[in-house]
Amino acid sequence: IAGGIGAFVYVTQKERHPGSQLPYDTSKKTIVILGSGWGATSLLKTIDTEEYNVVVISPKNYFLFTPLLPSVAVGTLSPKAILQPTRYIARHKARAVTVIEAEAKEVDPFNKTVTFEDETEIKGKVSHTTIPYDYLVYAVGAEVQTFGIPGVQEKACFMKELNDAEVMQRRFKDCIESAAFPGQDDAEIDRLLHIVVVGGGPTGIEVSGEIHDFLEDDLKAWYPELAGRIRISLVEALPSVLPMFSKQLIEYTESTFKESKIDIWTKTMVKEVKDKSVILQMPDKSIKEVPCGMVVWAGGNKGRKITQDLMGKFPTLQTNKRGLTVDDHLRLAGADSIFAIGDCTSTSYAPTAQVASQQGAYLARVFAQMAKKEGLEAKLSELQKTETVAVDTTEKTGVQSEIENTKKMIANVKIRPFHYSHQGSLAYVGSDKAIADLPFANGNIATAGVATFLFWRSAYLSTLFSLRNRTLVANDWLITKIFGRDLSR
Ligand code: NAD
């Protein structure tokens, strides 16, 4: 047993650190990766740094496993369980990766530079730096789309970053404690306990399901006088929720929500978010003010300002408002040496984590192929030099045959276009139930229920990038099952 534990500790602790890795090498090309989300992290995880210097620039020095963010928002999981430091991801690389915690502000595709800034501890003091790149991987993701609807930015909670989940959790618990305040007015209790979730995409559905679980599993026991009064309403502008899922799964979600007493208001549009209410445009176009304690905004995403600025540099080629246009090798249209992946691009695929991570892994293969080709080209030019100075005929013939071989090897290095392989769509709908649209040879299979929930859990566990995260997440699930969620704010 001691040997087994020793081997386990050795395997999990055996890791390189920058000190024992190859250093930055000025003779190698430098790849600058902007971002630390799905696309960037998948690339970083797979790329061989032997032939390149790699620099990662991101405002967060960690990767966030976004599919489990709604679970953090209600305390099922702790934040640390779904975070992985970017340096930790790069620890096994042959060459040390430079990780810079800063926000990229400008890309100059003509001079091949990136400018980034970091706000230091001393408030307001910002340091700017510009660095050159040989290749840029643009993977900055997207930001929350508020459509300029009044009050959304200032008054709603979001579900995009870790901080959003923490803010939502605090605000939700605050609503409950205020409702529990002795002598609280009846109408005010109902207002505080009404949670409005905006957006019937997967984010809005999962957040609603998680809030419902918190209510059922924990709040009913701890706040018996209030629990029955908590209401969750999901508002969606389109005629149905989850348009990307098959019809039967949409119906399953709707019926699960009905059982869970989560109201779904379709064809209803949020027009304004106020301090204590939301203004809705109802299906008949009438306007209604609905009191609520909290609004969670899951209304979709849009491109970041830096992306719009980059598009502006190619006014004739970058005209798609949904995001950056790339070719089938993920090269940015109009720019030399820039690749763009993930939610900042506009492709024929939905902007999902699955697409971004496949694109990141694809680029790692592209860079490996490019390094191989460049290595062979360097070898060829050396051979050609040797050929010109060779006097001995046998030596000359030998070099010529090697030249021919190398030329053939160069011709064989083929960089194939990116191909997306859809592994299916999954979403958690609450009450230990999930839905899944899975592609099979004979067509899609739609499944739902408790078994799908177990599949959802195991699929997410295996998708987590490290053993450490898997252990933390599995442990939190167990702790929540045994002891319930934490009620403290
Ligand atoms: P989304 O774009 O899929 O959905 C946003 C919804 O909000 C839309 O249906 C839109 O009609 C609605 N909306 C916007 N403004 C509104 C308003 N004023 N009033 C009422 N409704 C309004 O956004 P998302 O759910 O954050 O997903 C973003 C992307 O991430 C999608 O591609 C999605 O597939 C992916 N994603 C997938 C999963 C999963 O597979 N489990 C989970 C989360 C996100």
Tens-digit pLDDT profile for residues 125-149: 678 899 999 999 999 999 999 999 9
What is the rounded average pLDDT of the residues 149-160? 98
Query: In angstroms, what is the span from residue 481 Cα to ligand 1's centroid?
Result: 29
Ligand 1 atom nearest the C-alpha of 204 is 25
CB 324 within 8 A of CB 318: yes
Residue 362 to residue 340: CA distance in whole angstroms: 12
Query: In angstroms, what is the span from residue 244 Cα to ligand 1's centroid?
Result: 10
Band (277; pLDDT cuts 50, 70, 90): very high
Residue from 65, 234, 236, 282 to probe ligand 1 pocket by mutation (most atoms less than 8 Å from CB): 236
Helix (H, G, I), strand (E, B) or coil at 79: helix
Ligand 1 atom nearest the C-alpha of 203 is 25
The whole-number pLDDT of residue 40 equals 98
Query: In angstroms, what is the span from residue 229 Cα to ligand 1's centroid?
Result: 27
Tell me 487's DSSP state. -
Query: In angstroms, what is the span from residue 103 Cα to ligand 1's centroid?
Result: 25
Ligand 1 atom nearest the C-alpha of 269 is 19
Tell me 417's DSSP state. P
Residue 466 to residue 470: CA distance in whole angstroms: 6
Q: Which residue has the CA at smallest separation from atom 32 of ligand 1? A: 351
Burial of 28 (0-12, 13-18, 19+ CB in 10 A): middle
Residue 60 has pLDDT above 90, yes or no: yes
Residue 152 has pLDDT above 90, yes or no: yes
Residue 415 to residue 371: CA distance in whole angstroms: 11
What is the rounded average pLDDT of the residues 345-374? 96
Burial 295-317 (b: 16+ CB within 10 A, else e): bbbbbbbbbbebbeebbeebeee
- Considering the entire predicted model, what is its pTM? 0.93
pLDDT tens digits for range 370-404 = 999 999 999 999 999 998 988 888 888 999 999 99
Ligand 1 atom nearest the C-alpha of 428 is 41
**DSSP one-letter string for 224-267:** HHHHTT-EEEEE-SSSSS-TTS-HHHHHHHHHHHHHTTEEEETT
Q: Which residue has the CA at smallest separation from atom 37 of ligand 1? A: 202
Residue 480 to residue 217: CA distance in whole angstroms: 10
Query: In angstroms, what is the span from residue 158 Cα to ligand 1's centroid?
Result: 12
Query: In angstroms, what is the span from residue 2 Cα to ligand 1's centroid?
Result: 50
Query: In angstroms, what is the span from residue 455 Cα to ligand 1's centroid?
Result: 23
Residue from 196, 203, 279 to probe ligand 1 pocket by mutation (most atoms less than 8 Å from CB): 203
Query: In angstroms, what is the span from residue 53 Cα to ligand 1's centroid?
Result: 37
pLDDT tens digits for range 96-109 = 999 999 999 999 99
Residue 247 to residue 315: CA distance in whole angstroms: 40
Query: In angstroms, what is the span from residue 456 Cα to ligand 1's centroid?
Result: 19
Q: How many C-beta atoms surround the C-beta of residue 150 within 10 A?
A: 13
The whole-number pLDDT of residue 465 equals 80
Q: Which two tokens stand for residue 212?
A: 């419902």
pLDDT tens digits for range 396-455 = 899 999 999 999 999 999 999 999 999 999 999 999 999 999 988 777 788 999 999 999
The whole-number pLDDT of residue 12 equals 60
H or E element in which residue 103 lies: strand 103-108
Q: Which residue has the CA at smallest separation from atom 30 of ligand 1? A: 352
Q: Which of 150, 173, 175, 177 is nearest to 73 (CA)?
A: 173
- The ipTM of this complex is 0.97
Helix (H, G, I), strand (E, B) or coil at 389: helix
Band (6; pLDDT cuts 50, 70, 90): confident
Query: In angstroms, what is the span from residue 330 Cα to ligand 1's centroid?
Result: 24
Query: In angstroms, what is the span from residue 399 Cα to ligand 1's centroid?
Result: 61
Q: CA–CA distance from 231 to each of 130, 212, 310 (Å)?
A: 50, 9, 44
Report CA torsion sign: 476, 479, 485, 489. negative
Report CA torsion sign: 407, 408, 413, 414. positive
Whole-number average pLDDT of the chain = 94
Task: Give residue ranges with CB within 6 A of ligand 1.
Answer: 67, 147, 149, 198-204, 235-238, 244, 269-270, 298-301, 350-352, 425-427
pLDDT tens digits for range 314-328 = 999 999 999 999 999
Q: Which residue has the CA at smallest separation from atom 12 of ligand 1? A: 199
The whole-number pLDDT of residue 123 equals 64
Residue from 352, 355, 420, 455 to probe ligand 1 pocket by mutation (most atoms less than 8 Å from CB): 352
Query: In angstroms, what is the span from residue 145 Cα to ligand 1's centroid?
Result: 10
Query: In angstroms, what is the span from residue 198 Cα to ligand 1's centroid?
Result: 9
Ligand 1 atom nearest the C-alpha of 199 is 7
Ligand 1 atom nearest the C-alpha of 299 is 7
Ligand 1 atom nearest the C-alpha of 67 is 42
Ligand 1 atom nearest the C-alpha of 205 is 25
